Structures are given as C-alpha cells and as structure tokens.
Amino acid sequence: MDNVYSEGQLCMEFTNEEIMNYLVEPLKKHSNICVKALTLDEKEVQDTNEQIRYVSIDEDKDCYFSFLGFQTSLFVLEEEFMFIDDEAKEDIVSSHTYGNVVYEGSLRDKSHKEILELMYQISSILVNVKELEIEERKVSQTGIQYPKCEYNVKLISDVIEKGSISFSNILFTFKDNLD
C-alpha cells in the first residue's frame, strides 16, 4: 500500500470544497433526494468558513454522512457504515464497531477525491433502498482491536432489482424481497 498521507495526517480531513465537489454535487444529480451540507449544530452551511460536519441525503430515511477526520460514517435505515483511517484502526475497539459495517479496504493509498468518490458510489446504492439486512462473518482479529469481518448487505431497492456489487469486504446483494 502506498501511503498518500504523511505520518500523523488523517486521510479523511476533507475540505468543504472537496466534500461539495466529490460528494454533494454528484448526489444532487439524483432527482429523488434533497442533499444538504450541514454544520456541527446541524444548520445548513451558508458560509465557506463553516466546516461541513454532516451531509444529509434523505431525512425520511435518516440517511446522512458524518465527518470526523479519522472516520467518516454513512448512516442509513438505522445502520452505520464506517470508513476508518487505517492508522486510526488501532485505537478502535469492538464496542465502537459492534453492529456496524466497517469498510476494510485501504484508504490511505487514495486521494481525498478517490475516497469521496468511493463514498458516493456506496451511498448511491443505498439511497434508494427500502430495506436492508446485514450478514456479518468474522474473518480475523489479528493486529487490530476489533474483529475484521466480511459483510453481505442484502438490499431491497426501488431502482435496482437484482445483482450484486462488492467494495473490498462488503458485498451488496439486491433482491426482490428479503427472505
């Protein structure tokens, strides 16, 4: 893995411009959602000096991103999808990740643009989901504080009826209904 970031630098300390260009604007192209960039106190960002802390995608489904620098989370249908800086993983314990989907692909070898595009791709899949069911399989716990898992996220969507797509350790499977 080539490390794009210097030691001590977090790979998800995005600028407002990066969040707007690579996540918010692409999401706005989906006609069925209302995307908003929000501050820490959940007010819509009006000024470029106000740091974006959340990106709300669909208020009805409580679907949004939360940006913490060492971690970015996507919340949808009461589930959390976690993207954690590789160097911060040693400080994450199982109580932080329990019940959540943790992306285990490397992030430090990606630019901010590439990381945000990955998050956009995953959120584009989840934005039209009516239901989801997560199957978790523990793979290992070597060298980290929490168990490394593979996930099969079964989805019912209004847009995509069948098929699957994989991102590192996360497999999204589209079904007509959840059995």
By three-state DSSP, how is residue 147 classified?
A: coil
Residue 91 covered by a domain: yes
Distance CA 43, CA 93 (A): 31
In angstroms, what CA-CA distances link 40 with 19, 32, 51, 52, 66?
15, 25, 8, 7, 9
Residue 148 covered by a domain: no
pTM of the model: 0.92
Residue 94 covered by a domain: yes
Residue 58's domain comprises: 16-128
Average pLDDT over residues 60-82: 94
Residue 159 covered by a domain: no
Per-residue pLDDT at 143? 61
Record the tokens describing residue 4, joined without a space. Answer: 């794009």
Average pLDDT over residues 84-106: 92
Position 141 confidence tier, pLDDT thresholds 50, 70, 90: confident
- The 8-class DSSP code of residue 57 comes to E
* Position 65 pLDDT exceeds 80: yes
Question: Sign (positive/negative) of CA torsion 79, 69, 8, 119?
Answer: positive
- Residue among 82, 95, 87 nearest 151 (CA): 82
Residue 44 covered by a domain: yes
Residue 168 covered by a domain: no
Per-residue pLDDT at 1? 61
Residue 82 covered by a domain: yes
Q: Is 137 exposed, middle or buried (0-12, 13-18, 19+ CB in 10 A)?
A: exposed
Per-position DSSP letters for 16-68, written without gaps between them: HHHHIIIIIHHHHTSTT---EEE-TTSPBP-STTSPP-EEEEEGGGTEEEEE-
The total domain count for the chain is: 1
Average pLDDT over residues 98-105: 96
Residue 27 covered by a domain: yes
